[in-house]
C-alpha cells in the first residue's frame, strides 16, 4: 500500500531568523514536512521501503530468478519465485521489487503419469545461455513412498519460459541414455553402467554405501561456465538412515551429472571432513540434538566459495538458521565458519521475536546489492508450526578481520590473510530500504565524511556508515558509542539529493535512544516548492523511534529498527543528527548511547 501523499513545505511549521556565527548575516531555517514511515493503518511507502510482513505465506524453500527484459519480451523484467507450496506442483510468482508478488501459474506441465507426483519440494530454476532454456530442479517422492519420510529423489524439468510449461527431461543425456517419465532422471540409485560414484570418500566403509536419498538441489554456474549441483543427501543402509550431509557433483551439461565427480562435502554436527573422520563434533550444531544439514546454496565472492546451508529442524524457531562454510574450490574441502566469525549468518537468538526459524534460502542480486530470500515460520513468537512465509534481507560481504578471520585456518591462502564474512542485515520485521536498483535511491551515507562531537568514541565512528547494523551478539561491538548526548554530522563534497533518513538504534536496550532530538539538513539549493525567504537549512524535531521495534517490558531490541523520516526530494550538503534521550528508564548503562547505522536514501 502506498502511504498518504504529503507536500514538502505545504505548511510553514516553523520559521526562525538566527545570526550566523561570526557575522551579522541572517540565516533562515524551516521545519521539514515529513512522514515517519508507518501510517496509522500500518501502511508504509513501498516506493522506498520494504517490510517482511510474510504476505507470501504457506510457502517455503524459496528460489528467486531474475529474468531481464532484453532476454524475453514476454516474461522479462521480473523476479520469478519458486517455492514448496501445493506439493503436487509448484506455484510460480513474480515481482518487480522483491516485496510485492503476484501469482502467474503452475510451473510443471505434468499429467499424472510422472513418477514424481507426491511432495514436490525445494525447486530451483537456472537459465542456460547455450540452450536458451530454463531448467527446474526439485526433489519429490513416488506416490507409493509417501509413508517413507526420507525416500526422496531429484528430477530436472525444462521449459522455454520461466513461468510454466516445465516438462520432465526425457531426451538423451550426455551419456546417450534416455529416461522415461516413470523414473528419476537425476538418480544416484540406478545402474549408470560404467559411471560409478566418485571414490573421493573411499574411507567410508563399503557396507555404508546403500541407497542415497536426495533433496534440495542447487545448481551453480562458476565463472568459467562449469555447472555444479549441490544437494542434501542421506544414505540408507540396512533400513537405517545415516547422518544428513551436503553433497556435490559436477555437471556435464544441464541434465547430466558427472557421477564420477560425486563428493560428500558437509556433515551435520561436524565442522569439516577431517573432523568427521576423527569424530570431533561441532558444538554450534550438536547443541540442538539434531542431525540435519540441508538447503545448500552456493555464492562466490572474491574467489572464495561460500557454501551456505540450513541447519536444524525447520520447526525450531531459534535453531533453524542459515550457516556458512568456505573453500577455495567449488568441490571443497569446505570448513564451517567458527561462531565467532559471524556464523550463522542468519538466525534468531533465544529472546528475539521479530522472525522465527529463518532457514532455507537463496541469494539474488539486483544492481550492486545482494539479498537473501528465505522462509520463516508464520508464528514468530513460538515457532513449532508448519505454515511458513517468505522474507528478504540485505547481505553484505564485510572485511573478515573485523571478526578475526584468518584465511589459513580454513585452508585458504589470500594476500590479506583473511577473507570477507558473509553478513546478513537481518532477520528484520521493520522498514528497510527497498532495493536501490528498483527504488532509484541508494544509501549515500556511505559516501559521506562523518564527524562527531567530544562525547563520541572516535574509534567507533566508522560503524555509522559501514552498511551494516548490529544484528547479533557477535556483532554488537559494531556500533558507534557515545558517553552521553551526542551530535553526528555527515557531509558531502558535492550536493546529494536526499529522500529519507534512517537512524538505526543500538542492539542493546540499555544503550538505545528513545528518539532523535533533531536532524538539521543544510540545503544546497532552495526547494522548488518554497516561496519564502531564502533557506539555509531545514530540520526535523523529535523524530520518534517506533515502539514495534523493541520490547520495553522485557527490555530487548528487535534488530534492524530505525527512526526513519521520508520527505520530498531536497538537495543537501550536510546532515547533523542530535541525540540525547535514553530508551531505558532505569539507565542501566548511565547516559551512554549507541547508534548502529545511519542510512541516507538519495542519489
pLDDT by residue (tens digit) across 410-454?
999 999 999 999 999 999 999 999 999 999 999 999 999 999 999
Give the span between the Cα atoms of 379 and 357, in whole angstroms. 10
Q: How confident is the model at residue 202 (pLDDT cuts 50, 70, 90)?
A: very low
Q: Would residue 368 count as lying in a domain?
A: yes
Does 299 share its domain with 333?
yes
Question: What pLDDT is recorded for position 190?
Answer: 64
Question: What pLDDT is recorded for position 444?
Answer: 98
Average pLDDT over residues 211-238: 93
Higher per-residue confidence, 206 vs 542: 542
Q: Would residue 198 count as lying in a domain?
A: no
Question: What pLDDT is recorded for position 334?
Answer: 98
Query: Which residues make Cβ contacts (< 8 Å) with residue 353, sequence separation at least 6?
Result: 380, 381, 551, 558
E-only strand ranges, 160-210: 167-168
Higher per-residue confidence, 191 vs 221: 221
Q: Would residue 467 count as lying in a domain?
A: yes
Question: What pLDDT is recorded for position 204?
Answer: 35
Does 354 share its domain with 223?
yes
How many structural domains is the chain composed of?
Answer: 2
Q: Which three cell numbers stand for residue 72?
A: 524475453
- Of the chain, the percentage scoring pLDDT greater than 70 comes to 91
Other CB atoms within a 10 A radius of the CB of residue 222 amount to 13
Torsion-angle region of residue 451: left (phi > 0), alpha (psi -120 to 50) or beta?
Answer: beta
Q: CATH code at 405?
A: 2.115.10.20
Question: What pLDDT is recorded for position 56?
Answer: 95
Give the span between the Cα atoms of 315 and 140, in whole angstroms. 20
pLDDT at residue 582 greater than cutoff 80:
yes
- Of the chain, the percentage scoring pLDDT greater than 90 comes to 78
| Length of the chain (residues) | 603
Does 344 share its domain with 279?
yes
Question: What pLDDT is recorded for position 126?
Answer: 98
State which of 398, 429, 460 marks the end of a domain: 429
Q: Let me know: does 231 contact 213? Beta carbons within 8 Å.
A: no
Give the span between the Cα atoms of 562 and 595, in whole angstroms. 10
Does 280 share its domain with 408?
yes
Which of 60-74, 122-136, 192-206 is predicted with the least confidence, judged by mean pLDDT?
192-206
pLDDT digits (tens, 9 = 90+) for 41-50: 999 999 999 9
Q: Which three cell numbers stand for residue 495?
A: 550536493
Does 35 share its domain with 164?
no
Other CB atoms within a 10 A radius of the CB of residue 415 amount to 6
Does 424 share its domain with 512?
no
Higher per-residue confidence, 29 vs 1: 29
Question: What pLDDT is recorded for position 290?
Answer: 73
What does the mean pLDDT of the chain come to? 90
Average pLDDT over residues 40-64: 96
Average pLDDT over residues 551-572: 97
pLDDT at residue 209 greater than cutoff 60:
no
Q: Would residue 305 count as lying in a domain?
A: yes
Does 557 share its domain with 586?
yes
State which of 429, 454, 473 marks the end of a domain: 429
pLDDT digits (tens, 9 = 90+) for 111-165: 988 999 889 999 999 999 999 999 999 999 987 777 777 789 999 999 999 999 9
Q: Would residue 111 count as lying in a domain?
A: yes
Query: Which residues make Cβ contacts (< 8 Å) with residue 329, sequence separation at least 6?
Result: 305
Which of 182-196, 297-311, 341-355, 437-451 is predicted with the least confidence, judged by mean pLDDT?
182-196
Does 410 share its domain with 494?
no
Phi, psi of 60 (to 5 degrees): -150, 170
Does 115 share its domain with 129?
yes
Question: What pLDDT is recorded for position 207?
Answer: 38
State which of 397, 429, 461 marks the end of a domain: 429
Q: How confident is the model at residue 7 (pLDDT cuts 50, 70, 90)?
A: very low
Question: What is the residue whose three cell numbers read 524459496?
Answer: 62
Q: Would residue 7 count as lying in a domain?
A: no
Q: Would residue 195 count as lying in a domain?
A: no
Does 68 share its domain with 38?
no
Give the span between the Cα atoms of 364 and 189, in whole angstroms. 32
Q: Which three cell numbers stand for residue 119?
A: 511432495
Give the span between the Cα atoms of 368 and 582, in whole angstroms. 36
Does 400 share its domain with 447?
no
556: domain range?
15-46+443-602
Does 307 share its domain with 401?
yes
pLDDT at residue 517 greater than cutoff 70:
yes
Q: CATH code at 540?
A: 2.60.120.260
Q: Would residue 199 count as lying in a domain?
A: no
Amino acid at each position: 500500500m502506498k502511504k498518504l501523499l504529503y507536500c514538502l513545505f505545504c505548511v510553514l511549521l516553523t520559521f526562525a531568523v538566527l545570526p550566523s556565527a561570526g557575522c551579522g548575516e541572517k540565516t533562515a531555517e524551516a521545519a521539514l514536512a515529513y512522514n515517519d514511515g508507518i501510517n496509522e493503518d500500518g501502511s508504509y511507502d513501498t516506493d522506498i521501503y520494504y517490510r517482511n510482513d510474510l504476505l507470501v505465506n504457506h510457502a517455503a524453500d524459496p528460489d528467486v530468478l531474475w529474468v531481464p527484459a532484453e532476454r524475453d519480451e514476454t516474461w522479462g523484467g521480473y523476479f520469478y519465485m519458486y517455492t514448496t507450496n501445493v506439493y503436487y506442483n509448484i506455484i510460480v510468482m513474480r515481482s518487480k521489487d522483491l516485496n510485492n508478488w503476484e501469482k502467474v501459474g503452475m510451473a510443471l506441465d505434468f499429467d499424472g503419469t510422472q513418477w514424481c507426483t507426491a511432495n514436490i519440494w525445494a525447486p530451483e530454476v537456472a537459465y542456460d545461455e547455450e540452450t536458451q532454456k530454463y531448467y527446474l530442479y526439485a526433489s519429490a517422492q513416488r506416490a507409493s513412498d509417501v509413508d517413507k519420510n526420507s525416500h526422496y529423489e531429484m528430477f530436472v524439468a525444462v521449459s522455454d519460459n520461466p513461468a510454466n510449461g516445465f516438462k520432465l527431461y526425457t531426451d538423451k543425456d550426455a551419456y546417450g541414455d534416455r529416461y522415461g517419465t516413470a523414473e528419476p532422471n537425476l538418480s544416484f540409485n540406478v545402474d549408470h553402467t560404467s559411471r560409478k560414484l566418485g571414490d573421493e570418500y573411499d574411507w567410508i566403509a563399503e557396507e555404508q554405501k546403500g541407497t542415497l536419498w536426495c533433496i534440495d538441489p542447487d545448481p551453480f554456474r562458476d565463472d568459467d561456465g562449469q555447472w555444479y549441483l549441490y544437494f542434501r543427501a542421506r544414505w540408507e543402509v540396512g533400513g537405517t538412515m545415516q547422518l544428513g550431509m551436503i553433497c556435490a557433483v559436477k555437471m556435464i551439461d544441464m541434465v547430466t551429472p558427472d557421477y564420477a565427480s560425486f563428493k560428500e562435502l558437509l556433515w551435520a554436527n561436524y565442522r569439516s571432513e577431517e573432523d568427521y573422520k576423527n569424530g570431533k563434533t561441532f558444538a554450534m550444531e550438536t547443541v540442538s540434538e539434531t542431525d540435519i544439514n540441508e538447503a545448500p546454496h552456493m555464492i562466490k565472492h572474491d574467489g572464495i566459495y561460500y557454501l551456505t546451508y540450513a541447519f536444524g529442524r525447520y520447526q525450531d524457531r531459534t535453531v533453524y538458521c542459515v550457516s556458512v562454510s568456505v573453500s577455495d574450490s567449488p568441490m571443497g574441502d569446505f570448513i564451517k565458519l567458527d561462531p565467532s566469525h559471524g556464523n550463522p549468518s542468519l538466525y534468531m537468538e533465544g529472546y528475539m521475536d521479530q522472525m522465527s526459524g529463518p532457514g532455507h534460502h537463496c541469494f539474488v542480486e539486483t544492481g550492486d546489492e545482494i539479498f537473501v530470500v528465505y522462509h520463516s515460520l508464520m508464528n514468530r513468537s513460538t515457532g513449532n508450526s508448519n505454515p511458513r512465509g517468505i522474507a528478504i534481507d540485505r547481505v553484505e560481504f564485510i572485511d573478515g578481520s573485523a571478526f578475526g578471520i584468518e584465511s589459513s585456518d580454513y585452508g585458504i591462502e589470500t594476500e590479506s590473510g583473511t577473507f570477507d564474512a558473509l553478513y546478513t542485515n537481518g532477520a528484520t520485521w521493520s522498514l528497510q530500504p527497498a532495493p536501490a536498483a528498483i527504488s532509484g535511491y541508494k544509501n549515500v551515507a556511505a559516501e559521506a565524511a562523518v564527524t562527531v562531537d567530544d562525547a563520541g568514541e572516535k574509534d567507533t565512528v566508522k560503524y555509522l556508515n559501514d552498511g551494516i547494523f548490529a544484528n547479533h551478539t557477535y556483532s554488537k561491538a559494531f556500533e558507534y558509542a557515545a558517553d552521553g548526548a551526542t551530535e553526528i554530522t555527515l557531509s558531502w563534497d558535492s550536493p546529494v539529493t536526499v529522500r529519507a533518513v534512517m537512524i538505526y538504534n543500538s542492539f542493546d536496550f540499555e544503550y538505545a535512544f528513545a528518539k532523535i532530538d533533531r536532524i538539521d539538513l543544510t540545503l544546497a539549493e532552495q526547494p522548488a516548492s518554497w516561496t519564502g525567504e531564502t533557506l539555509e537549512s531545514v530540520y526535523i524535531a523529535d523524530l520518534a523511534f517506533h515502539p514495534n521495534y523493541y520490547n520495553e517490558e522485557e527490555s530487548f531490541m528487535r534488530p534492524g529498527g530505525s527512526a526513519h523520516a521520508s520527505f520530498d526530494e531536497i538537495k543537501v550538503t550536510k546532515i547533523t543528527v542530535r541525540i540525547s534521550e535514553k530508551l531505558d528508564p532505569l539507565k542501566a548503562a548511565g547516559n551512554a548511547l549507541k547508534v548502529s547505522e545511519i542510512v541516507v536514501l538519495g542519489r
